[in-house]
Amino acid sequence: MGTRGVVRGQAPDALQNRGATGVAAPPREHEGNMGHEVHINIDGQDLSLPVVEGSEHEKALDIGKLRAQTGYITLDPGYVNTGACQSSICFIDGEKGILRYRGYPIEEIADQACFLETAYLLLYGELPTQSQLDGFRVSVKERAEVPSALGKLCEAVSSDAHPMSVLASMVNALSSYGRDWRKPTVEEQREKAIRDLLGKLPTVAAMAFRRSRGLDPIAPRADLPYAANFLNMMFGEVNLKVAEALDKILILHADHEQNCSTSTVRIVGSSEANLYASIAAGICALWGPLHGGANQRVIEMLETIHNSGDGPDPFVDKVKDKTSGVRLMGFGHRVYKNFDPRAKILKKACDEVLATLGIEDPLLDIAKSLEKTALEDEYFISRQLYPNVDFYSGIIYRAIGIPTNMFTVMFALGRLPGWMAHWRELHEDPARRIGRPRQIYTGPTQRKMTPIGQR
């Protein structure tokens, strides 16, 4: 296990300086410390399991030899207790409501950095200098144009297709261009693909939106900041204050360690599938309502409450009735058990955006009253359910004119750097192996087939 430490990223200008083909091995940030061992007894056989400790002192049992030595595997539905990798990108303490990217608190990053700076930090491990950021920005923006033939793909799908399906298809299709960028095992090709997708994803997302409305795409503009360029490609105009708020939302979504979509990207990447295919898979995983799709469902829920005219209480009663199958969308999190620090920042940003635009949204009032009711209710208190990042983001998207079915696409734009940082980290780990869990089989034991006519 000591040899399976995480390899920290290498800044892109350092890559350029050495010809981008790789000379020195990237420095190691931290190797999971192998401290003591834990002894277990299985069927009378003593086994010592090494304890691996992370830089924030989280502990794991290394069960790498468990099956070979005992014949047992572990069973952990939902991977609630399973560490799938060692990673130096993102740290979360769900009990304390802490989220840090590469050691920096999310509150400080959201306050001081821009989205591309955050992307650089996640990808390469350090905050960029001004000249590094400028170089990064140029290399991303110069790849923002997408092949015009890709627009035909948008036209080919059904006009009421969900934008997430279009986004995943178009990202996958991007792998058919630029054949020399597709090998994830070649460092130079990895870096090109990363900048390429960071440049192109907003263009593809805006194109999908405009085609669904029968509108011509708008070309990317290199003179605009990242989020402003996206809004301009969506609407043909941009309010820079609103673009700043969107930039902050993207930062808040940029990474969240081993969540469902990131784990998907890592597992697909582990088969050495190219970056585009791995990210397309992540987009599909994000789409689900229990993950990124929750932001769309939050607004639909708030609209339902608003249209009912009954206020939030009857809805909360329905949520608490387990037979209803209704959940309070935007509430609860696998990891956060006290509060989601991103939700706190977003709640404030939501007030600011609505004030800037002079909008009064009755859904915001319903959201606030729903939050208050839930936070005082024993059902939610006892299960440690708090608003998550999706609870307020939809209200901001609505205010800036993003249609509801595009909300999860916005999440994907924000999460892209995190997905790619994990994909990159995976490929820089010399000890990586294909992701391949086992199972406990519960089907029939061996039986004899009868020919079809005799069944």
Q: Which positions lie near ligand ACO, rule CB under 6 A?
A: 78, 290-292, 294, 319, 327-334, 383, 385, 388-390
Least spacing, CB of residue 343 vs ligand ACO, in Å: 9
The tokens describing 405, both together, are 């079915």
Burial class of residue 356 in the structure, from the number of CB atoms within 10 Å of its CB (0-12 exposed, 13-18 middle, 19+ buried)? middle
Residue 268 CB coordination number (10 Å): 21
When the beta carbons of 319 and 413 are compared against ligand ACO, the nearer one is 319
Burial class of residue 60 in the structure, from the number of CB atoms within 10 Å of its CB (0-12 exposed, 13-18 middle, 19+ buried)? middle
Whole-number Å distance between alpha carbons of 104 and 304 = 39
Residue 180 CB coordination number (10 Å): 10
Catalytic residue check, 333: yes
Least spacing, CB of residue 259 vs ligand ACO, in Å: 6
Q: Which residues contact 416 (CB under 8 A, 6 or more apart)?
A: 119, 197, 198, 201, 279
Whole-number Å distance between alpha carbons of 455 and 448 = 12
User: What is the pairing mode between strands 104-105 and 98-101?
Assistant: antiparallel
When the beta carbons of 124 and 287 are compared against ligand ACO, the nearer one is 287
**Angle at the Cα of 336 from the Cα atoms of 333 and 340, rounded to 5 degrees:** 95
The enclosing H or E element of 106 equals helix 106-112
Annotated catalytic residue: which of 333, 340, 361, 427? 333
Annotated catalytic residue: which of 196, 255, 340, 390? 390
**For residues 407 and 397, is the Cβ–Cβ distance under 8 A?**
yes
When the beta carbons of 162 and 291 are compared against ligand ACO, the nearer one is 291
Least spacing, CB of residue 302 vs ligand ACO, in Å: 13
Whole-number Å distance between alpha carbons of 254 and 109 = 11
When the beta carbons of 187 and 390 are compared against ligand ACO, the nearer one is 390
Residue 5 CB coordination number (10 Å): 18
**For residues 37 and 51, is the Cβ–Cβ distance under 8 A?**
yes
Least spacing, CB of residue 407 vs ligand ACO, in Å: 11
DSSP helix/strand/coil, 193: helix
The tokens describing 168, both together, are 């995943």
When the beta carbons of 92 and 354 are compared against ligand ACO, the nearer one is 92
When the beta carbons of 141 and 297 are compared against ligand ACO, the nearer one is 297
Least spacing, CB of residue 333 vs ligand ACO, in Å: 5
**For residues 413 and 201, is the Cβ–Cβ distance under 8 A?**
yes
Least spacing, CB of residue 256 vs ligand ACO, in Å: 7
**Angle at the Cα of 157 from the Cα atoms of 173 and 165, rounded to 5 degrees:** 60
When the beta carbons of 7 and 395 are compared against ligand ACO, the nearer one is 395
* Closest residue to ligand ACO using C-beta atoms: 332
When the beta carbons of 289 and 403 are compared against ligand ACO, the nearer one is 289
Residue positions counted in the chain: 455
When the beta carbons of 146 and 281 are compared against ligand ACO, the nearer one is 281
Q: Where on the phi/psi map is residue 411: left (φ > 0), alpha (ψ -120 to 50), or beta?
A: alpha
Separation in Å, CA 66 to CA 41, 70, 220, 391: 12, 6, 53, 41
**For residues 104 and 272, is the Cβ–Cβ distance under 8 A?**
no
Query: Catalytic amino acids?
Result: 333, 390
